[in-house]
Amino acid sequence: MTTNTHTPTGHWINGEAVPAGSTDTTTVVNPATGEIVAEVPAGSPADVDRAVAAARAAFPGWAATPPAERAALLRRIGAGLLARGEEIATAITAEMGSPLTMSRTAQVGFPVAVAESFATLADDFAWTEEIGTSLVVREPIGVVGAITPWNFPLQQVVSKLAPALVAGDTMVFKPSEVAPLTARILAEVTAEAGLPAGVFNVVYGTGAVVGEAISAHPDIDMISFTGSTRAGRRISAVAAETVKRVALELGGKGANVILDDADLPTAVETGVMMAFSNGGQVCGAWPRMLVPASRLDEIVALVVAASERYPVGEPTDEATRIGPMASEAHREKVDGYIRRGIADGAKLVFGGPGRPEGLEKGAYVRPTVFADVDPTSVIAQEEIFGPVLTIITYADEDEAVEIANGTPYGLTSGVFGEPEHALAVARRLRAGQVDVNGGQWNPYAPFGGYKQSGNGREFGRPGLEEFLETKSIQR
């Protein structure tokens, strides 16, 4: 087995590494090579009990800490993550295959920016408010259970930990068993920043064991989950027994609506990037490109040309833009969708099934584009979570909006066109975030979904309010 300096040998509970309750472990596999890079503890409900007890004991003191001090500590955590950026990037590339160039930028840069955004929000947040004869007070909700996926392993937890810390909450965190390595780095950074013992705890393990125990635990006041819609349904059902708050950021099937008056090269270039970035393993991706029927051939030619600029390769190669899928099981799933698209009659214009030439070893797929796709087909409706782009034609604007809104999801979308025209169409889309003409990511703006893409919001003031209770004191 290849070992790493960031390989955890135990859980992180009450401010220190502690032995797991059993000798059971979970293997972490490098998807580019199939080699084992680490083994982490396979936690049990008893491990969760220990972590929850630590978080519950730490809660009164942390909740009583002034918000300005909590924000200052969060800034120190952000600085600590940045200082260990290369170690974090290397770990993420090894455990889930994100190209190293992306790991160094997005996988490290996004969580640092999120930490700073919540620290800034704390400076002028209305913790108390006078409404008539009432004093409205916003207080920490308590102990938060955080459960995250493998595609952005550090980003997803910092998006929960940052608002929880600013709010005055404590946390028990279960990272994905596929990509658990950065959890230990984050825990060490929090301790070095001065976070009191017990405020942040990590229990490794599977969703079926540790995730269930966290969701059901009577001393956990809130669950914040990012992952599949299927898992979100299960967490909601389990958490309902104790009537705890549940915030869900789930799947997506974003549409990139290209209007007839759009700058086509920009719309296509951005759309392909939003379909293929991180190997398409992004809940906020745009795997559907909606185009005017009269411009189909022109747009397909632009898409194919743009797709050729996304070479697949070993993720440590600086030239690689698409690495392996996060696991062999996921590679088989994505490849199955590509084969399903062909079987259902979609027109293949780029890529196709099977591994790319020269990459017969590893969890690689070929970035794939289908044209003239039926909007009701499987590949246009289900979340593939891979580098598969479907081009769908529409006859008029009303049909474009109908198609864009015509999936069970509603997380993200994009619209390209004359600015006011595109804004008008964006208002009609049933999605929690819509980018107009490639609008830039803003960590101060709320992010979350409609329909089966989840409930609640992350980032910005609404993201902070998710982790707070509201009390009215009548006078």
Catalytic positions, please? Answer: 249, 283
Residue pair 83/188 in contact (Cβ under 8 Å)? The answer is no
Residue pair 364/99 in contact (Cβ under 8 Å)? The answer is no
Question: What is the distance between the alpha carbons of residues 40 and 9, in angstroms, rounded to a whole number?
Answer: 6
Report the 10 Å Cβ neighbour count for 391. Answer: 25
Question: Which residues have CB under 8 Å from 288's CB, separation 6+?
Answer: 253, 254, 255, 256, 375, 380, 389, 390, 392, 403, 404
Cα 252 from chain centre = 11
Q: What is the DSSP letter of 7?
A: -
Give the 3-state secondary structure of residue 445. coil
Helix axes 108-123, 153-167, angle to 10 degrees: 10
Single-letter code of the amino acid located at 174? K
Question: What is the distance between the alpha carbons of residues 232 and 236, in angstroms, rounded to a whole number?
Answer: 6
Helix axes 85-96, 108-123, angle to 10 degrees: 130
Q: Is the sign of the CA dihedral 353, 358, 361, 365 positive or negative?
A: negative
Q: Which single residue is written with the structure tokens 């979609």?
A: 346
Residue pair 114/82 in contact (Cβ under 8 Å)? The answer is no
Query: Which segments within 311-357 are labelled E, that is strand?
Result: 347-350
In the numeric block, which tokens belong to residue 97?
């295959």
